[in-house]
Amino acid sequence: MNLLVITNQTWITVGIVAAIFAGSALIIGALILLVGKIFKVNVDEKVTKILENLAGANCGGCGCSGCGGFASKLAEGGANLSDCHVTSPEKKAEIAKLLGIELKDEEPTVAVVKCHGGAENCLDKFEYKGNPTCASCNSLLGGNKACSYACLGCGDCKAVCPENAIEVTGRLAQVDPDRCISCGACITACPKSIIERIPSSAPVFVACSSKCPGKEVRAVCKVGCIACGICAKSCPHGAITMKDNLPVIDYTKCTGCLTCVEKCPRHIIISRKVVAEETPATEKAE
């Protein structure tokens, strides 16, 4: 008899516990549904369609954390389609239709490092032994290079490149034009702001960013531009002007005659063909 009473009491206890669990589950489920309705995020169909047409590189070159953020900004009118250099012209045309805007013709571009100093040509003002990143090095007195515009050579640009298009040799970064998709991730990562885009068809570029007078440049760098202006005077097509002690090339006038390359006493105007040929073959084969 006692055993039967104990068994009944046990089942009653089990039933109460089960009921408590079932009731708790129902309450939690109802709360989840309620919270879901309150905090429901309405997905903009336009954003979804824009995102479907973007390249999906998530490189950050547009200034956004990824393609999702860029798609939202485009839908809101807070960004320009030209800010993305990775998406194909065909896909951009589709996005332009979705946004109801006219797509402007854009010439393909490629990134170049506007410095040719490195360990061999540009002096150091101190030995840096801290965190091996350009950002950290730059935070200490503007970096260890004697030229305040010099490439620091720690490879922050290489680290963010989604196409493995950048190699750092002799503390100098160099872009492989055949691999570069002009996403702009390296431009954003460079604390010295010496990586720029130029037209893919550009025959030459100025591999120096120093705005200092020639005398100061000579004191710290063997190859830096000394603002002599010989390139501008020698250009038969008037494609070069001097600004802030640096040559500025008008690529709409440049014919690729390479007169500036031949005449530059510091050899700081670089032929794009030479850059492509100097890229290590093993890197291209990967």
Apex CA 156: angle with CA 152 and CA 159, to 5°?
Answer: 145
pLDDT tens, position by position, 105-146 = 778 899 999 999 999 999 999 999 999 999 999 999 999 999
- Identify the three-state secondary structure at position 216: helix
Residue 92 pLDDT: 85
pLDDT tens, position by position, 137-155 = 999 999 999 999 999 999 9
Mean pLDDT of 237-266: 96
Average pLDDT over the chain reads 86
Domain ranges of the chain: 45-99, 109-285
Percent above pLDDT 70 for the chain:
87
**Residues 266, 269: Cα–Cα separation, whole Å:** 8
| CATH number of the 45-99 domain | 1.10.15.40
Fill in the DSSP letter of residue 109.
Answer: E
Apex CA 210: angle with CA 206 and CA 213, to 5°?
Answer: 115
Residue 36 pLDDT: 61
Mean pLDDT of 97-102: 84
Name the residue among 148, 152, 151 with its Cα closest to residue 137.
Answer: 152
Instruction: Report the CATH fold assignment for 109-285.
Output: Alpha-Beta Plaits (3.30.70)
- Count the helix, strand and coil residues of the chain and give each as a percent rounded to the nearest 5: 40, 15, 45
**Which parts of the chain are beta strand (E)?**
109-113, 166-169, 172-175, 195-199, 204-206, 240-243, 246-249, 269-271
The DSSP secondary structure of 135-186, one letter per residue, reads: HHHHHTTT-SBSSTTS---S-HHHHH-TT--EEEETTEEEE-TTT-----HH
Q: What are phi and psi of 148, to 5 degrees?
A: -70, -5
* Range among 4-18, 83-97, 240-254 with highest mean pLDDT value: 240-254
pLDDT tens, position by position, 173-204 = 999 999 999 999 999 999 999 999 999 999 99
Number of alpha helices (DSSP H) and beta strands (DSSP E) in the chain: 13, 8
Is there a common fold for 45-99 and 109-285?
no
Residue 281 pLDDT: 41
